[in-house]
Amino acid sequence: MSDETNSNNERAMSDDALRREILIGRVIDGQALPDDWDALRALAEQDPAVWDDLNETQRQQELLCAGVSRVTAVADEIEIDDALVDPEPMVRRLRLVGSWGGWAAAASLALLWSLGINPLQSGTGGQAAGPFATLQPDLTPDDALNQYLDTGREAGRVIREVPDRVVVRAEPLNGGRQVEVLYLRQILERQIVSQVYRESVDELGNELAVPVRLEPDTSGGSIW
Amino acid sequence: MDEGREAAGQDVVGAIAGDRDALRRLWQEHRRWVATILIAHKPRECEVEDLLQAVAVQVVRKLGELRDPGAFRPWLRTIAVNAARAEGRKITRRGPTLRLTSETPGAPNGSPVDGADEVERLMELARELPESYREPLLMRCARGMSYKQIGAILDLPETTIETRIARGRRMLRELAGCEQTPAGAGKSGKRPGRWSVVV
């Protein structure tokens, strides 16, 4: 609903109607004074529906508060300390991803290269298993992923999982009773490296990695 | 000013000066209502948790620029609103995305409306209220913030807050009344069980 519509609604509500709603609100919010109660009773003598409105508004307020409390409970888990740990590089990192777009795939290869693994050779199995090294065999896939995320966060490797899943394909199954959805889950990780490289090809068609120099960001802009 | 608010004011000054303990206390005191602001302004498909983290980053980056410690709450609200709106713009630019709405297989469509469903339904209806009503109404639910506290954050007189909340409640009541169907199913009867595609 737009604020223009809102403005029309405001005009449509008479002073008496507004007064009635304010009195109901004061009762619900525990702000009603004796005079307010007297005024509300007087209104109810003329229109007993006032009590129904009071009852319904009270009920909705309790439901709304329950909803807000439920959704905002997550706030208690968000500590400022995560942002205190050098937030600037995180912002810069995200900005790089956002501005270089399609370059990200090459960047991921180059990252491996800089860690001592040649991305241009197949079968790069030299990396340690990382957080998955201690996985228990009886974990469900979701449990395993959660363990990876938790362990990764503790190790400083995992920053967060991107909440949106990107749909690749959605197809009905079993005559439309079910839907098979293929989607991507994205996890933002961090690694500290000494050098990054851009994947390129020389004049003879040979793949090669070109060192990339990243200048400190001085724009002062923000991705947010 | 009571002792708690005075201490909070000192924390603002301390946090601006770089005192991390003061900043932690300040964040812990305010994060719940910041989350409420985010609910009032965020796109439907965006998580409060993610936005709150974005707000935390901005607070750390920009608090040192705050010149008037007394303006901390409106300043923090502005950061939250901007974070929510920025996310809205990003979502507009992105293609279709899928959101996991429940980890467990959902109930069949048209199942009876229970208490949790009704809370969800009312939260959805609240999203349809005009922003100027929705925000104070939801803030009133954030641990019972007073009209005065809400007014201080929104930079509006107490009487205006009271009026907006009263109007918002009436509109919500009317919306809920319009939504009732003879079968009593409402929107929840149409809600998919497990997945919903958010475009």
Does the CA dihedral A59-A63-A68-A70 come out positive or negative?
A: positive
Asked whether B27 and A80 are in contact (CB, 8 A), the reply is yes
Would you place residue B103 in the very low, low, confident or very high pLDDT band (cuts 50, 70, 90)? very low
Statement to judge: residues A155 and A100 lie in one domain:
yes
Q: Judge residue A181's burial from the number of C-beta atoms within 10 Å of its C-beta, 0-12 exposed, 13-18 middle, 19 or more buried.
A: middle
Whose tokens are 């949106």? That residue is A164
> Could A80 and B96 be called an inter-chain contact, meaning their C-beta atoms sit closer than 8 Å?
no
Q: Is residue A131 part of a domain?
A: yes
B161 touches chain A (CB under 8 A): no
Residue A92 has pLDDT above 90, yes or no: no
Q: Which fold has domain B113-186?
A: Arc Repressor Mutant, subunit A (1.10.10)
pLDDT digits (tens, 9 = 90+) for A149-203: 988 888 888 888 887 777 777 788 888 788 888 888 888 888 877 777 776 766 7
Would you place residue A86 in the very low, low, confident or very high pLDDT band (cuts 50, 70, 90)? low
Residue B97 pairs in a beta bridge with: A166, B198
CATH code linked to domain B1-92: 1.10.1740.10
Q: Residue B31's pLDDT is what?
A: 93
Q: Is residue A163 part of a domain?
A: yes
Last residue of a domain, one of A53, A75, A97: A75
A90 touches chain B (CB under 8 A): yes
Q: Is residue A80 part of a domain?
A: no
ipTM of predicted assembly, 2 dp: 0.76
Statement to judge: residues A144 and A171 lie in one domain:
yes
Query: How many structural domains compose chain A?
Result: 2
Q: Residue A132's pLDDT is what?
A: 47
Whose tokens are 């001085």? That residue is A218
CA distances from B84 to A125, A176, B28, B49 (A): 42, 36, 20, 11
Q: Residue A164's pLDDT is what?
A: 73
Long-range contacts formed by A209-214: CB under 8 A, 24+ apart? A209/A110, A209/A113, A209/A119, A209/A120, A212/A110, A214/A96
- List, in sequence order, every beta strand (DSSP E) within chain B: 97-100, 195-198
Statement to judge: residues A98 and A171 lie in one domain:
yes
Residue A100 sits at the vertex; the CA angle it makes with A98 and A105, to the nearest 5 degrees, is 100
The whole-chain average pLDDT of chain B stands at 78
> Could A74 and B118 be called an inter-chain contact, meaning their C-beta atoms sit closer than 8 Å?
no
A57 touches chain B (CB under 8 A): yes
Percent of chain A past pLDDT 90, that is, above it, reads 21
> Could B60 and A87 be called an inter-chain contact, meaning their C-beta atoms sit closer than 8 Å?
yes
Q: Rounded to an integer, what distance in angstroms lies between the CA atom of residue B39 and that of residue B83?
A: 11
Residue A129 has pLDDT above 60, yes or no: no
Asked whether A188 and A96 are in contact (CB, 8 A), the reply is no
A140 touches chain B (CB under 8 A): no
Proportion of chain A in helix, strand, coil states, percent, rounded to 5: 55, 20, 30
Q: Is residue A99 part of a domain?
A: yes
- Scan residues 100-159 of B and list those with Cβ closer than 8 Å to A: 100, 103, 118-120, 122-123, 126, 128-133, 137-138, 140-142, 147
Last residue of a domain, one of A46, A75, A104: A75
B96 touches chain A (CB under 8 A): yes
Any residues with CB less than 8 A from the CB of A122 and at least 6 apart, and which? none
pLDDT digits (tens, 9 = 90+) for A167-176: 777 788 888 7
- Give the number of beta-carbon pairs within 8 Å between A and B: 171
Highest mean pLDDT among A133-137, B165-169, B191-195: B165-169
Q: Rounded to an integer, what distance in angstroms lies between the CA atom of residue A128 and that of residue A157?
A: 13
Rg (CA), chain B: 19
For A65, the domain range is: 3-75
Q: Rounded to an integer, what distance in angstroms lies between the CA atom of residue B150 and that of residue A68?
A: 15
Highest mean pLDDT among A100-109, A204-213, B34-43: B34-43
